[in-house]
Amino acid sequence: MKKQIIIEGMSCGHCTGRVEKALNSLENVKVIEMSLEKKSAFIEVEHVSDELLIEAVEDAGYDVVSIE
């Protein structure tokens, strides 16, 4: 399943790298694209709750606005 995570607080390539690393550390999550302009991460995910995705992003220091 593909999802888009809208994230607040990313302001540079380092920020997107931190979020990408945090999401990729989760089992069954693959980051397809990070977009600083769209403030989002596009991922492929299987059997991972939205709560776990939110926790990974927040632990990296950023806020999740929504998951679509």
Q: What is the pLDDT at residue 21?
A: 97
Predicted confidence pLDDT, tens digits, the chain (68 residues): 999 999 999 999 999 999 999 999 999 999 999 999 999 999 999 999 999 999 999 999 999 999 99
For residue 20, what are the domain limits?
2-67
Query: Which three-class secondary structure state does DSSP give residue 11?
Result: coil
What's the Cα-to-Cα distance from 47 to each of 17, 28, 60, 63, rounded to whole Å? Answer: 23, 7, 21, 22
| pLDDT for position 43 | 98
Q: SS3 helix, strand, coil % of the chain, rounded to 5?
A: 30, 35, 30
pLDDT at 35: 97
Task: Say how many domains are in the chain.
Answer: 1
pTM for the model stands at 0.94
In CATH, what number is assigned to the domain containing residue 42? 3.30.70.100
Q: What is the pLDDT of residue 50?
A: 97
